[in-house]
Structure 1
Amino acid sequence: MATISSIPTLNLLSQPKTSIRIQAQSSKHSFQLSKPTHLRHSYGNSVSPILLKPKEISRVSAVAEETSVSTQDPSSEAARRLYVGNIPRTVDNAELKKIFEEHGAVEKAEVMYDKYSKRSRRFAFVTMKTVEDVNAAIEKLNGSDIGGREIKVNITEKPLSTGDTSLLQAEESQFVDSPHKVYVGNLAKTVTSDMLSKFFSEKGNVLGAKISRVPGTSKSTGFGFVSFASDEDVEAAISSLNNALLEGQKIRVNKA
């Protein structure tokens, strides 16, 4: 954990209304951050405000961030869930679990499959029993070779904030579904629902478009859906836009 090794010139300040408390490990010293440039130092019952220079501010920010990470509840599923990418399509849940069990106790292993083609999407999620098992799996398996492919193993993305969740819920609620719909695959991660809607509007009367997200995050899964007013619009979209380039990638378009 980062520590603060030097204390700059002391200046008396008024007591701040809000603060963030940062506790250094193995020390009786504690620090209290109020405004971006002010720090309060306390020892025992005495308190003296401290004025920080920009370099010290960045170091304090690092301490605050590390403290936040270190206090994450190790028993939560989010702290024990791993993303496993670039796996061979032949790897199923049982085989994936067996691979990870060589490096720790596995609670659950789940390969992600395409809803329509039923083929593996080449990534999965593995929940380990403990954080120690998580660290061991990352150390031993990230970058390792499975079936001729170099796999990626890391901790899953941070959960969405309340604001992000509201935005995605609003996006979902705005999607107008219809029986005339296409599935759009191999989308670049940068493609948004609005971009998808505008792209397909050139070929038909688009009622709605949405990007599928990795559960609990804002990350695109690489596919989405576009609904139209008629089956003629669907056919026109498939014939004109299947294998078309969108954000530098050839997209796949077929009936949903």
Structure 2
Amino acid sequence: MAMVTSPRASLYVGDLHQDVTDAQLFDVFSEFKSLASVRVCRDSSTRRSLGYGYVNFISPQDAAQAIEVKNHSTLNAKAIRVMWSHRDPDARRSGIGNVFVKNLSDSIDSVKLQEMFQKFGNVLSCKVVTSDYGKSKGYGFVQFESEISANAAIEKLNGSTVGGKQMYVSKFVKKSDRSVPSPDAKYTNLYVKNLGPGVTEEVLKEEFSKYGKIISLVISKDKNGASRGFGFVNFENPDDARHAVESMHGSKLGTATKFCGGYHMIMLG
């Protein structure tokens, strides 16, 4: 009789080097006795690796241990991501629990990023994006099991300074959702630019809080603590965010300071 694996004992392995084979992947996880099967996913036409695969265990305990031991480990000189497999396409596409982090110090790798965020809840996946040479590009992604954990992390870590750089932490927005919204679109995050050097976060909060409750607010700063001239304001209520855009766009604060309200499409800019 064929052995059937539990759905909870299936792991997703991402960021695989193009040359990783099924045999190599099996060898990496073979120390766990209940390893049942592995598969590197490939293009049906070219048979080239798609950069990810699946590892199946009989024992959920072995699978959980494999995540602890193998996540962020190196295979063919490339760090891999290991997490529970979520086969439900609706769950993957929903974006629930996904957080975007940017302006990261070069000293922050995927392991350190996970250490910072895991205090807020169960982290399913965590990644600092790197160049082909392994150098951090200064941004990354964290996926929590729950939206509550994601919101808590955003509230506590957005605007905090780590490694001499002020982090920006927000909800991740899919590329397909980053187009300019219609008047009826719902959004809560605003991008504010052309800020004068004298505009502080306190001043910005005072101006924007007139329109509703602010969840988080940050002005981007350089390594010396000087304003970069732009920032982000995250409202709790989409209607409040829309009213702020309608009122503040093109207005002045202090000496010729111009506000440009925008959609959270600019987060990745």
TM-score, reference length from structure 2: 0.32
TM-score, reference length from structure 1: 0.33
